[in-house]
Chains A and B, each alone.
Chain A
Amino acid sequence: MKRIVTATVINQSGVLNRITGLMTKRQFNIESITVGHTETEGVSKMTFVVNVDGDGKIEQLIKQLNKQIDVLKVSDITDQAIVVRELALIKVISNAQIRSEISGIIEPFRASIIDVSRESITVQVTGDSEKIEAIIDLLRPYGIKEMVRTGITAFPRGSQKSVTDIKQYSILN
């Protein structure tokens, strides 16, 4: 199963290496990682998407991450109310004739064209992973020359009212 895990870390050199290293050592399958600064200076947040089988495995991952000295907090936010965003840049083959056709396709996604050349345009889109998959599917028939995705970043919504079943990996269950 796919889980979204965030880790708040002290921005030390080597911290990324330690974390990815432990994931490799313990055979966790990372689908994506994003890292960036937070509101606190010297503190970064990582968002991982990992593929694990079973609660035991994700519990191990969280505990192992927590054990790292530079890790301040780890949460599995998969089952919380969260905002999730990913950014994708998609370079699509297109000439002048079909450019407006593509504009029409991407409009409902609130994506934008950020670069135009004679034989291609570059579309920028942000959203959750499904939305990005959807726009990619629609653009594929035109020919995708190049594509990059950032991987998701996420955090809990301001209000968690709608959530009933938040997974806790407290050892005091």
Chain B
Amino acid sequence: MRAKAKPEAEAVTAEMTGAEVLIHSLKKENVEVLFGYPGGAVLPIYDALYRSPIKHILSKHEQGSIHAAEGYARVSGKPGVVIATSGPGATNLVTGITDAMMDSLPLVIFTGQVASTVIGTDAFQEADIMGITAPITKHNYQVRDVQDLPRIIKEAFHIATTGRPGPVLVDIPKDVANKTISPDYDSTIHLPGYQPTFSPNILQIKKLADAVGQAKKPVILAGAGILHANAGKELLTFTEKHKIPVVNTLLGLGSYPGQHPLFLGMGGMHGTYTANMALYECDLLISIGARFDDRLTGNLAHFAKNAVVAHIDVDPAEIGKNVPTQIPIVSDAREALRKLVDVDSETPDTEDWRNQLTENSKNYPLWKKTNTDEFLPQQVVELVHEYTKGDAIITTDVGQHQMWAAQYYAFTDANRWVTSGGLGTMGFGFPAAVGAQLAFPDQTVVALTGDGGFQMTLQELSTLQELNLPVKVVIMNNHTLGMVRQWQEAFYEERYSHSLLPVQPDFVKLGEAYGIKSYKVETQEEARVVFEEAFSHRDPVLIDCRVSGKENVYPMIAPGKGLHQMIGVKP
């Protein structure tokens, strides 16, 4: 098989091709797995890969590669590394790059490019990927001189993983990959324009500590920044010290224990009544690693309007962007929380406030239909929770099922929740599960997807089959583009324009075609039997859960409304 394979180039001073330099640099960055797809412009790179021990996962579409890399990065905290060929290979990555940019996921993406001599001539499979990805990357490079490659790769990993993480793309013309040099791996990073702030200004910390001491109705909004900074423990310490309730953003779920008495649930469009009213009524709002997305704030005119707003974020551009901020703190979340815990400060008396919130939680809990024989989508999430003991890595696609997963899984640990928040990318969930499973081969990974979104990237079933990855694919099949249908019901007088999916493939046969054990379940009882079996072994499984197609996600804040104007808070 590996006939004629050259012994791996170990001696750093030896002559190497650009492609070999790339592979060698990836090893130096401790890259364990690459997500990619070959093609003409990356043939030299794939040839170098042939002789390398780095694991390469061949997806079935470049979008599958990049979402897998995102899933890998999200749960492991390590950068996801992607390779694609020039032109169509590179443009197939665009959705994933944008998704990673919006959700601050560290990715390093290598694209092939046509030879430097023909760039700009509309050569075969040429695309201006530098121009295309300028607005959707944290930074991008085109390697003009192969001698720059070791430095550029170092910089790319550094930029992707520090400060506010994000995707960095490195475009490598084919002739650059082929060129032989004596590489200089000692060249150092030189980024005078990139010095992310890590530690907070202590005066600002004191100001915030004072504000905490004086607050009567404080609340913390904890976003994904807590997860990126690995600050969950510090958040817990700080909130318990001062008895401050916590709301999570969609992406922040898992950064605070879901069962904790100070936890109010997720805020925003489909958040809990208690969380949203807390954000609405608070007198001190401390946002940490969250960016006040419109799906979280609702109409800004009503958002935390009586509150002093403190915002801790590693990206200064997020502070004051959407919500006027009285106490800005540019910092890594963990650093700021450590300082906040250390600094002398009074503990506010929040007892009345917490009682009020507990009362809200009692009166307005999440609800779903009772007294019905229908198999409800919410029950699927509850069953998954039960059979995974609340301990699985859950990836979702986008739509109603995503919101039910967020509402009902009750995440207790960090980095076990993988969802597309900022971009809301259908087709994300299943390939993301592939990447998450590769990061943690021994853990249970469940891809909760919709019948619509699953069909956008289902070709990755082939990847499951090939690697025998034990991902459990749970399709919450409501025979509709549920979230679209819900909006058409609510705002377009039930004109279900192109949102019903009465005709579907036979998902069981489809799974079986890929050699994957597949089941259809139509009731809770059937689901119990199948889940019991499916979660007892380490093989991939596909479960087509036929759930009621008429459920809506509640509570809800209609577009343009404030957090206090939720509908569907009661049955």
Contact = CB atoms under 8 A, between A and B. Distances in A.
Interface in B110-149: 130-131, 134-135, 138-140, 142
A14 B328 contact: no
A72 interface: yes
A14 B132 CA distance: 11
Given A14-B142, A17-B134, A67-B315, A59 B193 contact: no
A70 to B, nearest CB: 6
A72 B135 contact: no
Contacts of A72: 192-193
Interface residues of B, number: 25
Contacts of A59: 320
Nearest to A61: B317
Interface string B489-507: 0000000000000000000
Given A13-B142, A14-B134, A21-B134, A171 B328 contact: yes
A163 interface: no
Given A60-B321, A172-B201, A172-B204, A69 B316 contact: no
Contacts, number: 52
Contact of B194 (A13, A56, A64, A69): A69
B328 A60 contact: no
Contacts of A112: none
A56 B159 contact: no
B405 to A, nearest CB: 31
Contact of A64 (B134, B192, B317): B317
A67 B324 CA distance: 20
A59 B193 CA distance: 18
A14 to B, nearest CB: 6
B193 A71 contact: yes
Interface in A67-107: 67-72
B284 interface: no
A69 B159 contact: yes
Contacts of B201: 172
A66 B201 CA distance: 19
Interface in A3-52: 9-10, 13-14, 17-18, 21-22, 25
Given A17-B134, A60-B321, A68-B193, 15 more contacts: A9-B193, A10-B193, A13-B142, A17-B130, A17-B131, A22-B135, A25-B135, A63-B317, A67-B315, A67-B316, A69-B138, A69-B159, A69-B191, A171-B316, A172-B201
